[in-house]
Amino acid sequence: MKHKWLIAFGCFFWYASFFCEESGLQPYSTVGLVIAPILIVVGIFGWVLHYYKTRGHYPRIGHTISMVISGMTKNPFFGIGFLFSHLLQFWTLITLFWIGISFLGFGIFGNSDAFIATQQYCETNSSILSNTGRIKYYSPLIGGNIRMHNDDGSAELFFTIIGAKGNFDAESRLIKQDGNWMVQELKMKQ
């Protein structure tokens, strides 16, 4: 039963860290974004092992899905009852989906050439550094949009700078010409 507490605490910790990250409570919230998925995964492994020990087989997810679908064809409200009877599993699935979307956003935006150009701009611009102090890191929650057409494009990125003088919400607008990203405007507020 320890696995249920690990999963529940990991999910709660993820949500708390996510909303604290959005509220600018770094670096503690960033640590939570890293630790919470580890707790959830350890809890899931514990659940799978407990399931195997008590039932003699691993969870049959395909069988469960087909049972829910066949039950819903007979009674459309069958799925609601199933969700309430498996609330922790449903909550865990939704949390894992949200974690996946967050990591996907970080992977796409955080590793983009546009964000790398923004980081270089922030770390070399003296007026930004005078406001932030030494930049420690950037929040992993990065949003925005990037539009590309051949070697041209534009981008708008929203992120948080964690500096020696505090946390700053930042918005950068970039343009790509001849294959190079250039920051047109960067707005910050503490």
Domain ranges of the chain: 2-106, 112-189
Domain covering 112-189 in this structure, CATH number: 3.10.450
Please determine, for residue 114, whether its predicted confidence score (pLDDT) is greater than 80: yes
What DSSP designation does 77 have? Answer: T
Q: Output the six-digit token pair for 152.
A: 């041209």
- pLDDT tens figures, 40-81: 999 999 988 988 898 888 888 888 888 888 888 888 777 777
29-33, 36-40, 140-144: range with highest mean pLDDT: 36-40
pLDDT on residue 151: 78
Q: What is the mean pLDDT of the chain?
A: 86
58-62, 80-84, 92-96: range with highest mean pLDDT: 92-96
